[in-house]
Amino acid sequence: MGTYVPGTGEEQKELLKSLGVAGMEELFVTIPKEVRLNGPLKIPDGVSELQVRKKMAGTAGENRVFPSLFRGCGAYRHYIPSIVKQVAAKEEFMTAYTPYQAEISQGTLQAIFEFQTMICDLTGLNAANASVYDGCTAAAEAVIMCRERKRNKVLLSGALNPQIIETVKTYMAGTGTEIIVVPAADGVTDKTELKRLLDEKTACFLIQQPNHYGLLEDYEELGKLTKEAGAKYVMSCNPILLGILKTPGEYGADIAVGEGQSLGLSLSYGGPYLGFMAAVSELMRKLPGRIAGQTLDTRGEKAYVLTLQAREQHIRREKAASSICSNEALCALTASVYMSVMGKEGLRQAATLSMSKAHYLAEKLCGLEGFSMAYEGDYVNEFTTVYKGNTEKLLRGLEDYGILGGLPLKGEDRGKIIWCATELNSKEEIDELIDRIKEVQTHEAGI
Amino acid sequence: MGTYVPGTGEEQKELLKSLGVAGMEELFVTIPKEVRLNGPLKIPDGVSELQVRKKMAGTAGENRVFPSLFRGCGAYRHYIPSIVKQVAAKEEFMTAYTPYQAEISQGTLQAIFEFQTMICDLTGLNAANASVYDGCTAAAEAVIMCRERKRNKVLLSGALNPQIIETVKTYMAGTGTEIIVVPAADGVTDKTELKRLLDEKTACFLIQQPNHYGLLEDYEELGKLTKEAGAKYVMSCNPILLGILKTPGEYGADIAVGEGQSLGLSLSYGGPYLGFMAAVSELMRKLPGRIAGQTLDTRGEKAYVLTLQAREQHIRREKAASSICSNEALCALTASVYMSVMGKEGLRQAATLSMSKAHYLAEKLCGLEGFSMAYEGDYVNEFTTVYKGNTEKLLRGLEDYGILGGLPLKGEDRGKIIWCATELNSKEEIDELIDRIKEVQTHEAGI
Amino acid sequence: MKLVFEKTREGRGSVLLPPLDVPETELKACFKREKELHLEALPETDISRHYTELADRVYGVNNGFYPLGSCTMKYNPKVNDEVAGFSGFTDIHPLQPDYTVQGALKVLSEAEEYLGEITGMEHFTFQPAAGAHGEFTGLKLIKAYHEKQGDIKRNKIIVPDSAHGTNPASAAMAGFEVINIPSNEKGLVDVAALKRAVGEDTAGFMLTNPNTLGLFDENILEITRVVHEAGGLNYYDGANLNAIMGIARPGDMGFDVMHLNLHKTFSTPHGGGGPGSGPVGCKEILAPFLPLPRVKKDGGNYILSDEGEDSIGRVRGFYGNFLVVVRALTYILTLGGDGLKLTSQNAVLNANYLMEGLKDTYPVPFAGPCMHEFVISLEELKKETGVSALDMAKALLDYGVHPPTMYFPLIVHEAFMLEPTETESKENLDRVIAIYKELYEEARKNPEDIKNSPKKTVIGRPDEVMAARNPVIRYEFPSA
Amino acid sequence: MKLVFEKTREGRGSVLLPPLDVPETELKACFKREKELHLEALPETDISRHYTELADRVYGVNNGFYPLGSCTMKYNPKVNDEVAGFSGFTDIHPLQPDYTVQGALKVLSEAEEYLGEITGMEHFTFQPAAGAHGEFTGLKLIKAYHEKQGDIKRNKIIVPDSAHGTNPASAAMAGFEVINIPSNEKGLVDVAALKRAVGEDTAGFMLTNPNTLGLFDENILEITRVVHEAGGLNYYDGANLNAIMGIARPGDMGFDVMHLNLHKTFSTPHGGGGPGSGPVGCKEILAPFLPLPRVKKDGGNYILSDEGEDSIGRVRGFYGNFLVVVRALTYILTLGGDGLKLTSQNAVLNANYLMEGLKDTYPVPFAGPCMHEFVISLEELKKETGVSALDMAKALLDYGVHPPTMYFPLIVHEAFMLEPTETESKENLDRVIAIYKELYEEARKNPEDIKNSPKKTVIGRPDEVMAARNPVIRYEFPSA
For A191-205, write each residue's pLDDT tens digit: 999 999 999 999 999
User: Is A266 an interface residue toward D (CB < 8 Å)?
Assistant: no
Q: Is residue D64 in some structural domain?
A: no
Residue partners of A5: CB distance under 8 A and separation at least 6: C342, C343, C346, C422, C423, D43
In Å, the largest CA–CA distance within chain D is 78
Residue from the list B49, B51, B92 with its beta carbon closest to the beta carbon of C14: B49
Residue from the list B50, B81, B424 with its beta carbon closest to the beta carbon of A49: B81
- pLDDT (mean) for A326-347: 96
Backbone angles phi, psi at B173, to 5 degrees: -55, 130
Query: What CA–CA distance (Å, rounded) separates B305 from C209?
Result: 53
How many C×D Cβ pairs under 8 Å? 55
Q: Is residue C473 in some structural domain?
A: no
Shared domain check, D354 and D320: no
List strand residue ranges (DSSP E) for C72-186, in order.
123-125, 156-160, 177-181
Q: Which of D268, D301, D334 is the last residue of a domain?
A: D334
Sketch the domain layout of chain A as residue ranges. 82-338, 347-446
User: Is A217 an interface residue toward C (CB < 8 Å)?
Assistant: no
Contact between chains at D459 and B301 (C-beta distance less than 8 A): yes
| pLDDT tens for each residue of chain C, 480 residues long | 999 999 988 888 889 999 999 999 999 999 999 999 999 999 999 999 999 999 999 999 999 999 999 999 999 999 999 999 999 999 999 999 999 999 999 999 999 999 999 999 999 999 999 999 999 999 999 999 999 999 989 999 999 988 888 899 999 999 999 999 998 988 899 999 999 999 999 999 999 999 989 999 999 999 999 999 999 999 999 999 999 999 999 999 999 999 999 999 999 999 999 999 999 999 999 999 999 999 999 989 999 999 999 999 999 999 999 999 999 999 999 999 999 999 999 999 999 999 999 999 999 998 778 999 999 999 999 999 999 999 999 999 999 999 999 998 888 999 999 999 999 999 999 999 999 999 999 999 999 999 999 999 999 999 999 999 999 999 999 975
Residues in chain D within 8 Å Cβ distance of C12 = 425
Contact between chains at B82 and A424 (C-beta distance less than 8 A): no
Query: What is the chain A residue with the closest CA to D62?
Result: A87
Residue from the list C12, C19, C81 with its beta carbon closest to the beta carbon of B7: C12
Q: Is residue D61 in some structural domain?
A: no
Best probe of the A interface among D53, D78, D86, D423, by most A CBs < 10 A, is D78
Contact between chains at C28 and A331 (C-beta distance less than 8 A): no
Judged against a pLDDT cut of 60, whether residue B207 lies above it is answered with: yes
User: Residues A427-444: pLDDT tens digits?
Assistant: 999 999 999 999 999 988
Q: Could you confirm whether domain A82-338 is CATH 3.40.640.10? A: yes
Shared domain check, C219 and C347: no
Query: What is the chain A residue with the closest CA to D9?
Result: A7
- Edge-to-edge strand order for the sheet containing B127-128? B127-128, B275-279, B255-259, B232-237, B202-209, B153-157, B178-182
Shared domain check, D355 and D302: no
Output the average pLDDT for chain A: 95
Judged against a pLDDT cut of 60, whether residue A11 lies above it is answered with: yes
Of the pLDDT bands very low, low, confident and very high (cuts 50, 70, 90), residue A445 is confident
Contact between chains at B37 and D249 (C-beta distance less than 8 A): yes
User: Residues A72-102: pLDDT tens digits?
Assistant: 999 999 999 999 999 999 999 999 999 999 9
Residue from the list A50, A81, A424 with its beta carbon closest to the beta carbon of B49: A81
CB C418 within 8 A of CB C377: no
Best probe of the B interface among A3, A4, A48, A50, by most B CBs < 10 A, is A50
Q: What is the pLDDT of residue C11?
A: 82
Q: Distance, in angstroms, between D44 CA and closest chain A CA?
A: 7
- pLDDT (mean) for A287-310: 95
Residue from the list C12, C52, C428 with its beta carbon closest to the beta carbon of D63: C52
Of the pLDDT bands very low, low, confident and very high (cuts 50, 70, 90), residue A312 is confident
**Residues 427-446, chain C, touching A (beta carbon < 8 A):** none
Percent of chain D with pLDDT over 70: 100
Q: Which of A339, A352, A359, A334 is nearest to A420 (CA)?
A: A359
Query: What CA–CA distance (Å, rounded) separates D332 from B2?
Result: 9
Query: What CA–CA distance (Å, rounded) separates A57 from C109?
Result: 17
Q: Which of A447, A367, A379 is nearest to A418 (CA)?
A: A379
Shared domain check, C31 and C112: no
Judged against a pLDDT cut of 90, whether residue A64 lies above it is answered with: yes
How many independent structural domains does chain C possess? 3
Q: Which of C414, C323, C331 is nearest to C375 (CA)?
A: C414
Shared domain check, C278 and C216: yes
Of the pLDDT bands very low, low, confident and very high (cuts 50, 70, 90), residue B7 is confident
Shared domain check, D439 and D351: yes
User: Is A2 an interface residue toward D (CB < 8 Å)?
Assistant: yes
Q: What is the pLDDT of residue B447?
A: 59
Q: What are the b/e assignments for A25-55, b being 16+ CB within 10 Å?
A: eebbeebbeebebeeebebeebbbbbbbbbb
Q: What is the pLDDT of residue C368?
A: 78
Q: What is the pLDDT of residue B212?
A: 98
Q: What is the pLDDT of residue D96?
A: 98
* Residue span of the structural domain in which D30 resides: 4-54
Query: What's the CATH code of the domain at C420?
Result: 3.90.1150.10
Q: What is the pLDDT of residue C480?
A: 55
Q: What is the pLDDT of residue D255?
A: 98
- pLDDT (mean) for B47-63: 97
**Residues 36-95, chain D, touching C (beta carbon < 8 A):** 43-46, 48-49, 52, 56, 61-64, 75, 77-78
Q: What is the pLDDT of residue C338?
A: 95
Q: Distance, in angstroms, between A335 CA and closest chain C CA?
A: 13
Residue from the list B49, B91, B424 with its beta carbon closest to the beta carbon of A82: B49
Shared domain check, C308 and C361: no
Q: What is the pLDDT of residue A447?
A: 59
Q: Running DSSP on this structure, what letter comes out for residue A311? A: G
Cis check: omega of the bond before C19, within 30 degrees of 0: no
How many B×D Cβ pairs under 8 Å? 685
Query: What is the chain D residue with the closest CA to B46?
Result: D336
**Superfamily of chain region B348-446:** Aspartate Aminotransferase, domain 1 (3.90.1150.10)
Shared domain check, D314 and D172: yes
> How does strand C123-125 pair with strand C280-282?
antiparallel
Residue from the list C44, C45, C62 with its beta carbon closest to the beta carbon of D48: C62
Query: What CA–CA distance (Å, rounded) separates A294 from A305?
Result: 7
List strand residue ranges (DSSP E) for B172-214, in order.
178-182, 184-185, 188-189, 202-209
D414 φ/ψ sector (left φ>0, alpha ψ -120 to 50, else beta): left
Shared domain check, C58 and C88: no
Q: Is residue C480 in some structural domain?
A: no
User: Is D372 an interface residue toward B (CB < 8 Å)?
Assistant: no
Shared domain check, C319 and C213: yes
Encoded amino acid at C317, one letter = G
Query: What is the chain A residue with the closest CA to B425?
Result: A50
Contact between chains at D48 and C78 (C-beta distance less than 8 A): yes
For chain D, helix, strand, coil in percent to 5 are 40, 10, 45
**Superfamily of chain region A347-446:** Aspartate Aminotransferase, domain 1 (3.90.1150.10)
Contact between chains at B82 and A50 (C-beta distance less than 8 A): no
Residue from the list C5, C94, C346 with its beta carbon closest to the beta carbon of A117: C5
Q: Is residue C379 in some structural domain?
A: yes
Query: What CA–CA distance (Å, rounded) separates A53 from D307?
Result: 43
| 3-class SS of residue D156 | strand
Q: What is the pLDDT of residue D102?
A: 98
Query: What's the CATH code of the domain at D165?
Result: 3.40.640.10
CB D322 within 8 A of CB B270: yes
User: Residues D143-175: pLDDT tens digits?
Assistant: 999 999 999 899 999 999 888 888 999 999 999
Encoded amino acid at A435, one letter = D
Residues in chain D within 8 Å Cβ distance of C75 = 43-45, 48
Residues in chain A within 8 Å Cβ distance of C104 = 63, 269
- pLDDT (mean) for A274-300: 96
Stated pTM of the model:
0.96
Which chains does chain D touch, 3 or more C-beta pairs < 8 A? A, B, C
| HSE-up (13 A, CA, CB side) for residue B437 | 24
Q: Is residue C471 in some structural domain?
A: no
| ipTM associated with this complex | 0.96
Shared domain check, C380 and C407: yes
Shared domain check, D377 and D258: no
Q: Which of D334, D358, D391 is the last residue of a domain?
A: D334
Q: Is residue C470 in some structural domain?
A: no
Best probe of the A interface among D8, D9, D12, D15, by most A CBs < 10 A, is D15
Q: Which of D319, D334, D349 is the last residue of a domain?
A: D334
Of the pLDDT bands very low, low, confident and very high (cuts 50, 70, 90), residue B313 is confident
Q: Among A40-54, A298-312, D72-86, which is the least confidently predicted range?
A: A298-312
